[in-house]
Structure 1
Amino acid sequence: MYLIRERLFDIGDDYDITDDSGRTVFHVDGKLLSPRDRLVIEDPAGNEVASVHRQLIALRRTYTIKVGGEKAAEVRKKLLTPFRDKYTIDVPGPHDLEIRGDLLDHEFTVERDGREVASVSKRWLTIRDTYAVKIVPDEDHLLILAAVLAVDLAMSRAEKEREDKAAKERD
C-alpha cells in the first residue's frame, strides 16, 4: 500500500509517496506554474523515473505518462458518463485500464478487463489530506501511481476552473 498526500490545488508542491511503513518510495516534484500541469516522479536517490503532464491540445482532459523517458500511457476522461467521472488509462496494445468511482473524494478503483487491480481510498486513513493506493502485486505499480496522480491533477484543474468560472460570474 502507498500513501499520497492530496493535492488540493497546490500544483507546485513537492511531496513524497510512502509505503505503509512510512518509507519514502517516490518523490513527486510538482513543476510550479507549469502550463502543462507537470509532475516528475523520482526514486529516493533523486533520479527521474516517470513524469505526468497535461496535453495542451486535446478535446477532453488528457494526461501523458512517461516512464523512463518513453510514453507509457495516456490518461483520458471518458465522455458521456452522466453520474460519475471515469478515466481510461490507454496503454500500448490491448488491456487498457479504467478508473471509476468517486474521483473527487478519492474513493475509486482501477480495473483491467473487469478485474480490480488497484483501489484508492481515504477511508482507510485517519491522516487528513492523505489517501491510500493498494495495487495487486502483478501490476505496474509506477504506472498506476502515475495514473492516479494524473487523475488528481485533472480533478484539481477541474475544480479550479469551476471556482474561476463562479468568480467571474460574481463579478
Structure 2
Amino acid sequence: MRFQVRDRLLGFGEDYWIEDDSGEKVYLVDGKAMRVRDTFELKDRQGRVLVDIRQKMFALRDTMVIERDDEPLATIRRKRLSLLRNHYRVTLVDGTELDVSGKIADREFAIEYDGELLAVVSRRWLHVRDTYGLDVVRDDADPALLIAVTVCVIHLAEKERED
C-alpha cells in the first residue's frame, strides 16, 4: 500500500489529508492547537478517530505516545547514540520494538521490525513538490500505526531541529 502526504502542512495545529496511490483521501491527520502538549488525531474518511498521538509530558527526552481507544499502543523516542543518521525507537505496549532510521528531515527513512522492512518513507517516487510517499511493504502491517509512527518521528525531528 502506498500513501502520499503533502509535506508543507506538517505544522502543529494544522490538518492534512493522506491519500492512497490513486489520489483518494484515506486518512486525516488532525492537529489539535491550543493544547499544553502537541496532539494529533489520525482519522479515517468518515471522521472516526483511529489513533491519538500525544507528546508525553515530563519525559527526559522528547517522547510521543500513540493510543488506540484510550489505551497506550506505542511510545516513540529518539535513540541516544545516533550520530550519522536519525534513529528512533518505537516500543509497542506488548514490548515489541520497531526501529526507524534514515534521513528524517529529508523524508528518506525506513521502519523495521527485527531487521525486516515494514515501511519506507521517500520523496523519490513522487514528482510533486513538498510531497513524500509512505510505502507499507508488508500486507499484515497496520497502516494506521505506521502512519502515526511517521507523523511522530517527523514531528520530533522538526522540533529537535528548531531547538
Tell me, yes or no, whether TM beats 0.5.
Answer: yes
Question: What is residue 166 of structure 1 aligned with on the other side?
Answer: none
In 2, the alpha carbon distance for the partners of 1:55 and 1:105 equals 25
1:142 pairs with one of 120, 144, 157: 144
Question: What is residue 103 of structure 1 aligned with on the other side?
Answer: 104
Post-superposition CA distance 1:99-143 (Å, at most 9, x none): 001111010000001111110001111111111001121111111
Matches within 5 A, 1:25-104: 25-104=26-105
Question: What is residue 15 of structure 1 aligned with on the other side?
Answer: 16
> Please, what is the CA RMSD of the aligned residues?
1.4
In 2, the alpha carbon distance for the partners of 1:129 and 1:12 equals 19
Runs of 4 or more above 4 Å deviation: none
Question: What is residue 156 of structure 2 aligned with on the other side?
Answer: 154
Contact residue 9 and residue 15 of structure 2 kept, 8 A: no
Q: Highest Rg: 1 or 2?
A: 1
In 2, the alpha carbon distance for the partners of 1:7 and 1:77 equals 23
Post-superposition CA distance 1:49-78 (Å, at most 9, x none): 111111121111210001232211001110
Contact residue 95 and residue 113 of structure 1 kept, 8 A: no
Contact residue 6 and residue 129 of structure 1 kept, 8 A: yes
Matched residues, percent identical? Answer: 34
Post-superposition CA distance 1:21-71 (Å, at most 9, x none): 011111111112433111111111111111111112111121000123221
- Three-state SS of the structure 1 residue aligned to 2:41 is strand
Question: What is residue 6 of structure 2 aligned with on the other side?
Answer: 5
Structure 1: which 5+ residue stretches go unaligned? 162-171
Say if 1:26 and 1:8 are closer, same or farther in 2 by CA, change over 3 A: closer
User: In the TM superposition, what is the alpha-carbon distance from 1:8 to its structure 2 partner?
Assistant: 6.2
Contact residue 105 and residue 157 of structure 2 kept, 8 A: yes
Using structure 2 for the length normalisation, give the TM-score: 0.92
User: In the TM superposition, what is the alpha-carbon distance from 1:92 to its structure 2 partner?
Assistant: 2.1
Matches within 5 A, 1:122-137: 122-135=123-136, 136-137=138-139
Contact residue 42 and residue 144 of structure 2 kept, 8 A: no
In 2, the alpha carbon distance for the partners of 1:80 and 1:36 equals 26
- Three-state SS of the structure 2 residue aligned to 1:146 is helix
Report the number of matched residues: 161
